[in-house]
A and B are shown apart, each in its own frame.
Chain A
Amino acid sequence: MALQESILTAENLILGYHKGRISKKVAENISFSLEKGKLTCLLGPNGVGKSTLIKTIMGQLPPLGGKIQLNGKGIQQIGTKEISKKIAVVLTEKINSGTLTVRQLVELGRIPHTGWLGKLSEKDQFKVNYAIQATNIQYLADTLLSELSDGQLQKAMIARALAQDGEILILDEPTAHLDLVNRFEIMHLLRKIAKEERKAVLVVTHDLEIAIETADEFWLMQCGLPLVTGLPEDLIIRQEIDVLLPNDKLTFDKISGKVQTLNESKVMAIKGPNPMNKWLALALKKSNISPLSEDTILEIKESPFSIDLKDKNTFQSFSSIDALLVFLKKNRE
């Protein structure tokens, strides 16, 4: 692993805002260190203060207390113009400027670097082209924004942020509203950017599974608790990931890598090859079906596919999980 280079640090930060003379605290005990070349995922429930944290990082909202420093200098002491050269963002706000092409959008990212008229120098052009290539959207360069799909638009927005050429890239829920393939593509793209460009990439996301797969670092935010930071795998092993799940009906299952309901009801014994019995178990769990009797055994067979249900006085064969569920439900009544 390359040597660690932290670019943004915070100590005991208190987030919030002033409303008239009253100051409203949103979150406190926030300490972190954002590192170059790492993909950091910020996870936490809605309303916990993730957006407030981003605004504070961008210097738009002064913290109520604590320290936050960019390259060793207090954020509040750096002008917005200087910050815009260091930090680029992709926000959740919807862009509806249909008269722009993708290339023009990416060119807008150079605004902090250009003169008063916004004329692009050769270096600016180079950065724009580079951002378009890095995000793999060359084929879209002359397309109008109004003609893009959500996934394509998100890549164009990332290209714009990349062209802004800061050391920090912050993305607020970049994969919301995207389909499965696009979600993976975007997160892997961000990981690639972090690694290849040595940028500090901070992603706010609710997509735990993809985050576990791609992030180098997790920041977990929960109401009233200090910010938990660490390597995702460490947090999972220490079960600290459950910070995200204050509800005692949910837990993070270390084996499947998924959030699961704590279901105490007995599960039927299932025999059979692995991928299939896993899905059968899930189907039974979801419909909350308990065994008919103590010695009920389910056996799943691969080819031809069948599920056999055996106990003292029954032997029944089913051709699909659905058929089995229908039978079990009817039997219970």
Chain B
Amino acid sequence: MKNRPTYLLFVLGLVLCTLLFVANLSLGSVSIPFFEIAGGLLGKGFVKSTWETIVMEYRLPKALTAIFAGISLSVSGLQMQTFFRNPLAGPYVLGISSGAGLGVALLLMAGSAFGWVVYSGAWGIWAIIIAASLGAILVLLLMSITAWKVRDSMTLLIIGLMFGSAVSAIISVLAYFSEAEQLKLFTIWSMGSLGGTSFGQLKGFSFAIFLGILPVLWMLKSYNAMLLGEAYAESMGINITRLRWGMIISTGILAGSATAFCGPIAFIGIAVPHMARLVFRTGDHRILLPASALTGAIILLFCDGISQLPGSAQTLPINAVTSLIGAPMVIWLILRRNFSKEF
């Protein structure tokens, strides 16, 4: 477990992450040379002041958002896959993202029906974040009550999926009755966006990630025990009830905040933990947790780079890119190895 490749992989990963980070800053409708950015970030100052504005005001927050969202979605996906012992579990299965979606849908679409015009100007973004957080917390509370009543993990998983479906249905109903303009706003939100987060919001986001990852550090050992299933974990003195609560709270905060700040982003939560397992060749969560976080940051930076459509003024929605890259990757993973055995 303490063999060289693991360290080497982490070093390589960090280098790759840094390169992608700088590359991400240099890409966009205005192309800024790679070394200019590196120099500017290291404090040498930018040649043009417009470059500085573009990088510091727009691209830096966006690249940081990509890293934060990559970390939070991957870490919550990893926890769910281990806890539910299901290779297809992800942040969406407990309905947390759908809950956030419901919050935003209510704000944007139902709001207009009652004549509220909440979405306007700079406050609009905060309103969306608060609505998404409230929606995520609501579903989280429902799930917690369920988890308290239901002891079986598989039942919890199915109930989570059902919550998700029910919430999606409510959103459809809202969408059906809403006006075209509101519908478009919601549709754009649901495509996800890494841009549009200010430094102030990034502070909130990073604090949420800190809060979400903290309990995971305490549960790493329990997650390792869960590799053998609940019964064995219990025989090794692991408190399953406490672990379940910890998992729900941690994934709720992580996936909930990522969805609140960036909208729903598909596939990262499912695909990244598998990639980390494949690359690092281990089931040990003491390695998998940082490995998933790092891989998540790399992948989302990469996807964001692609969504910039280098060389053009157009951008693609991030959700479309993660799906276009993520779906074939999951298929490839399944075909390449004995997926369920590897897990």
Contact = CB atoms under 8 A, between A and B. Distances in A.
Nearest to B240: A80
Interface residues of A, number: 31
B320 to A, nearest CB: 31
B244 interface: no
29 contacts: A58-B234, A80-B234, A83-B237, A84-B235, A85-B237, A88-B235, A89-B235, A91-B231, A93-B229, A93-B231, A95-B229, A95-B232, A96-B343, A97-B227, A97-B283, A98-B341, A99-B282, A99-B343, A100-B283, A104-B1, A108-B236, A109-B236, A111-B225, A111-B236, A116-B221, A117-B217, A117-B220, A118-B286, A164-B236
Contacts of A89: 232, 235
A108 B342 contact: no
Interface in A51-90: 58, 60, 80-85, 87-89
Nearest to B238: A111
Interface of A: 58, 60, 80-85, 87-89, 91, 93, 95-100, 104-105, 108-109, 111-112, 114, 116-118, 146, 164
B221 A111 contact: yes
Interface of B: 1, 217-218, 220-221, 224-225, 227-229, 231-232, 234-239, 277, 281-284, 286, 338, 340-343
Contacts of A83: 237
A98 B338 contact: yes
A117 B224 CA distance: 10
Contacts of A80: 234, 237, 239
B341 A96 contact: yes
The 8 closest A-B pairs by CB, nearest first: A84-B237, A99-B283, A118-B221, A81-B237, A98-B341, A97-B227, A146-B341, A111-B236
Nearest to B235: A89
B235 A58 contact: yes
Contacts of B234: 58, 60, 80
A96 B236 contact: no
Contact of A117 (B277, B286, B338, B342): B286
A93 B232 contact: yes
Contact of A104 (B218, B283, B343): B283
A98 B228 CA distance: 11
Contacts of B229: 93, 95
B224 A118 contact: yes
B226 to A, nearest CB: 9
A93 B85 CA distance: 13
A91 B232 CA distance: 8
A89 B230 CA distance: 13
B237 to A, nearest CB: 3
B3 to A, nearest CB: 10
A24 B79 CA distance: 36
B239 A146 contact: no
A85 B231 CA distance: 16
Contacts of B282: 99, 104
B196 to A, nearest CB: 38
A15 B220 CA distance: 35
Given A85-B237, A97-B343, A111-B237, A117 B221 contact: yes
Nearest to B232: A91
A104 B284 CA distance: 8
Nearest to B280: A99
A112 B341 contact: no
Give the most central of B217, B231, B286: most A CB within 10 Å.
B231
A99 B281 contact: yes
Contacts of B220: 117-118
B225 A108 contact: yes
A91 B225 CA distance: 14
B236 A112 contact: yes
Given A96-B340, A99-B282, A105-B228, 7 more contacts: A95-B232, A99-B343, A112-B236, A116-B218, A117-B221, A146-B341, A146-B342
